[in-house]
Amino acid sequence: MSTQDVKQGIPLLGDVFPTMTVQTTRGMKNLPEDYKGKWFVLFSHPADFTPVCTTEFIAFQERYDEFRKMNTELIGLSVDQVFAHIKWEEWIKDNMNVEIKFPIIADTGKVAETLGLIHPGKGTNTVRAVFIVDADSKIRIMLYYPQELGRNMDEILRVVKGMQTSDDKKVAMPANWPNNEHFKDRVIVPPATDMDMVADRKAAADRGEIECLDWWLCHKEL
């Protein structure tokens, strides 16, 4: 792997994803350049041929079409040789009848170091990290799980949909959206930050365009 202009320290939310060239099961990839105009979810796993990781890859693949409908690609990663990735993919297809169709990065350790995927106390294996990167190559969400806990892929689908909706509609999402206990699938209108906006919120509520519990807590249908 080669990197260019990689700053010290792991990337932060809002940073452009570090430039790197990586070997994958689908050929060489230039990140994030090859995914310009698309969102992508890069997720690391501790190792090939491990039980929890196998269930995760199957779960990601079974939702791959749903991700792609949201203009989002998947990229796996672990510190394993590409030959191990390929053999593992074959095992999953032969034994679980699931064909992995997204690329898996064969990392030498450089990508893991750049992205902060090796955590103290967890040996040399990568933790279960998730980087959600938008169409402008900016990191929008980072999630880290310990090796012992498999990820919830429906939650990853949810947060991609939520961030894309927020960008498109300029709104925020309540807890557990779109199944919030009080607001259901409604979205939150950004709170007013000055007196003119307070008046605008009240006027919009009077017109029935939004509903407000107070001027700072307004919500609406998408």
- Looking at the annotation, which residues are catalytic? 53
d(CA 51, CA 53): 6
- What φ, ψ does residue 211 adopt, rounded to 5°? -120, 140
Per the CB < 8 A criterion, the answer to whether 80 and 48 are in contact is yes
Residues belonging to the chain: 222
Q: What separation in angstroms does the CA of 210 have from each of 119, 215, 221?
A: 45, 11, 8
SS3 214: strand
Count Cα neighbours of 73 within 13 Å in the Cβ-side half-sphere.
18
